[in-house]
Amino acid sequence: MAVDLAVRDVGTRWPCDHWGVPGPVVYRTPTDADGSLSRLGAAARQIGLDAGLAAVGIASAAIFAETREVLHARRRDGLHSTMEFTYRNPDRSTDPGRILEGARSLVVGAWGYRREDSTGSQVTVPVDGDSTPTDTTSYLSHSSGPTPNKPTGTVARYARHDYYGSLRRALDQIADRLRADGWQAIVVVDDNALVDRAAAQRAGLGWFGKNSLLLLPGLGSWYVLGSVVTDAPLEPSTPSGPPQAAEGCGSCRRCITACPTGAIVADGVIDARRCLAWLVQAAGAMPVEFRTAMGSRIYGCDECQEACPINRVADRRHRAPAPEPGAVATVDLLDLLAASDDELIDAHGRWYIAKRDPRYLRRNALVALGNVGDLQDPETLAALDRWAEGDDELLAEHARWARDQLGRLDRASPSGAGPGAGPGAGPGAGAGAGPGAGATR
């Protein structure tokens, strides 16, 4: 045991007996007379920074009572849509003690994922043992890659590479250090068991923006967040950012006006029923009223972050690194629609795909194709016809919608109706046609 603590209160649990001791946990309060806990906290932070974290903070592992209330209230108001995640059991996701019995502290880290805008190269190359697709049978690896004339779907920045994996590896190093001193430590990253943003805010990493994202002072919001939950009673960090959006965002409302679907219904409050980031993950039909707003997105939505002036200033101050080899920023929509189930799961299995069913990637691709495709392109028309006539009624309806949408765009264009406009007006075409269409969640 490397730490030697002075003790104020008497309890039943102590570093020397914390492995596997059952029964009620009563804490002794360490006074850290020799400073070993301060040193451990400082070491944990330094390890995190050396491992590539942009910021590391320490917070108490007390229950997040306010966040618990917010989760319950949003559930009551239906703002969570059909989401589970932290909403499934708010009493659990707001109590770090449910992750680790006797939890005392959270060491919270932020991993930056802003990268230089890439050309969307789809060549897959193995990267430091992460889950980037390496299988040469992947449709991405034999795709010709996006070309100016081929319709392209876009992937949100956080999902272009396994940034959660990078974050986890950095937090693992901190956890190893804590364990080496005899403490217990569990890493949680984007897990249903913990509200990551509330933890980061408590650890002083930043403030809640009006888009609900946590912004790091001077750095912005392009960061994923995770924690090490430990029974080490570390000294909490001093908050480094303004606690409220009112202070951090001032009078700015750009994210609210930039949101293509009006999903930011109040400062810091997202209505998931309207949020594209959720709709691309949710099962069922894409609500018709949001299909056009989806644009070329096939996974995630970055609009409320791209619009943020704090991110823009940070981008100018800190040059973003080049994208990782194998990062997937864009996808050829026709290749995606031609790929097999296995190929799609191989290439995108890291993403949250409803029921792990690749048909939802195809659904998203069909909507994107309806927004950015060209009916005069025979390959596009053939793909839409194939899916419109297929057995999967959900996909057939989305393909008919896409055909109709492109038909309308074609007719509206100065060149008038192209050769592809006709088939778009087939049975069932038209916004809202087809089973499941128009269903809102």
Residues noted as catalytic: 190
Closest-CA residue to 185 (of 307, 279, 309, 96): 96
Of the candidate spans 48-56, 146-154, 193-201, 409-417, the one that interacts with ligand B12 by CB under 6 A turns out to be: 193-201
Tell me the C-alpha distance between 91 and 94, whole Å. 6
Q: At what angle do helices 393-412 and 359-372 cross, to 10 degrees?
A: 10
SS3 annotation, 162-209: CHHHHHHHHHHHHHHHHHHCCCCEEEEECCCCCCHHHHHHHCCCCEEC
Q: Outline where DSSP puts E strands in 53-199.
A: 55-60, 105-112, 152-155, 185-189
Kindly tell me which residue out of 86, 132, 152, 371 binds ligand B12, with binding defined by CB under 6 A.
Answer: 86
Which residue stretch of 186-194, 313-321, 367-375, 397-405 sits at the interface with ligand B12 (rule: CB under 6 A)? 186-194
Q: Is 401 in the site for ligand B12 (CB under 6 A)?
A: no
Closer CB to ligand B12, 184 or 281, in the complex: 281
Question: Does 198 help bind ligand B12 (rule: CB under 6 A)?
Answer: yes
The answer to whether 71 contacts ligand B12 (rule: CB under 6 A) is: yes
**Which is nearer to ligand SF4, 167 or 293 (by Cβ)?**
293
Indicate the pairing of strand 185-189 with strand 223-230: antiparallel
Stretch that binds ligand B12, among 21-29, 212-220, 318-326, 387-395 (CB under 6 A): 212-220
Q: Choose among ligand B12, ligand SF4, none what residue 336 binds, the Cβ cut-off being 5 to 8 Å by kind.
A: none
* Residue of 54, 55, 57, 67 interacting with ligand B12 (CB under 6 A): 67
Binding partner at 288 among ligand SF4, ligand B12, none, C-beta below 5 to 8 Å by kind: none
Q: What is the DSSP track for 6-52?
A: -BSS--SB-GGG-SS--S---B--B--TTSHHHHHHHHHHHHHHHTT
Collapsing DSSP to helix, strand or coil, 5 comes out as coil
Torsion of CA 284, 288, 289, 295, to 10 degrees: 90
x/- string (CB under 6 A) for ligand B12, residues 248-287?
A: -------------------xxxx-x--x-xx--x------
Q: Give me the amino acid identity at 135.
A: D
Nearest alpha carbon to residue 287 among 364, 348, 351: 364
Q: Considering CB distances under 5 to 8 angstroms, the limit depending on partner class, which of ligand SF4, ligand B12, none binds residue 272?
A: ligand B12
**Six token digits for residue 33:** 């007379």
Q: For residue 333, give the nearest of 158, 139, 161 by alpha carbon.
A: 139
Distance CA 218, CA 419 (A): 52
Task: In whole angstroms, give the CA distance from residue 70 to residue 277.
Answer: 20
Residue 388 interacts with, from ligand B12, ligand SF4, none (CB under 5-8 Å by kind): none
Judged by CB under 6 A, the residue of 108, 304, 331, 366 near ligand B12 is 304
By CB under 6 A, residue 197 contacts ligand B12: yes
Q: Which amino acid is at 418?
A: G
What's the closest the beta carbon of residue 268 comes to ligand B12, in angstroms?
Answer: 3
Stretch that binds ligand B12, among 99-107, 185-193, 319-327, 328-336 (CB under 6 A): 185-193
| 213 binds ligand B12 per the rule CB under 6 A | yes
99 vs 314, which CB is nearer to ligand SF4? 314
Contacts with ligand B12 by CB under 6 A lie at 67, 70-71, 74, 83, 85-86, 156, 158, 189-191, 194-198, 208, 210-214, 221, 223-226, 245, 267-270, 272, 275, 277-278, 281, 300-302, 304
